[in-house]
């Protein structure tokens, strides 16, 4: 996404990207609450 932006190209995010971002944010929240590093796949 950042590469497309930097190159001035169009970027069309899809549902799968949204799911991956949601999982990443959830892992960040869990890590912040527990102090334990989280692993995110995908």
Residue 7 lies in a domain: no
Does pLDDT of 42 surpass 80?
Answer: no
- How far is the C-alpha of 8 from the C-alpha of 33, rounded, in Å? 38
Strands (E) located in the chain: none
Q: What confidence category does residue 3 fall into, taking pLDDT thresholds of 50, 70 and 90?
A: confident
Cβ-based neighbours of 13, under 8 Å, separated by 6 or more? 1
Domain around 23: 12-42
Residue 24 lies in a domain: yes
- How far is the C-alpha of 41 from the C-alpha of 6, rounded, in Å? 26
Q: For 6-39, how does the pLDDT look when each residue is reduced to its tens digit (9 = 90+)?
A: 888 888 889 999 999 999 999 999 999 999 999 9
Give pLDDT, residue 29.
97
Residue 6 lies in a domain: no
Residue 41 lies in a domain: yes
């Amino acid at each position: 996404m950042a590469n497309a932006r930097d190159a001035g190209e169009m970027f069309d995010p899809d549902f799968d990207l949204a799911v991956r971002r949601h999982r990443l944010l959830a892992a960040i929240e869990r890590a912040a609450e527990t102090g334990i590093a989280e692993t995110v796949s995908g």
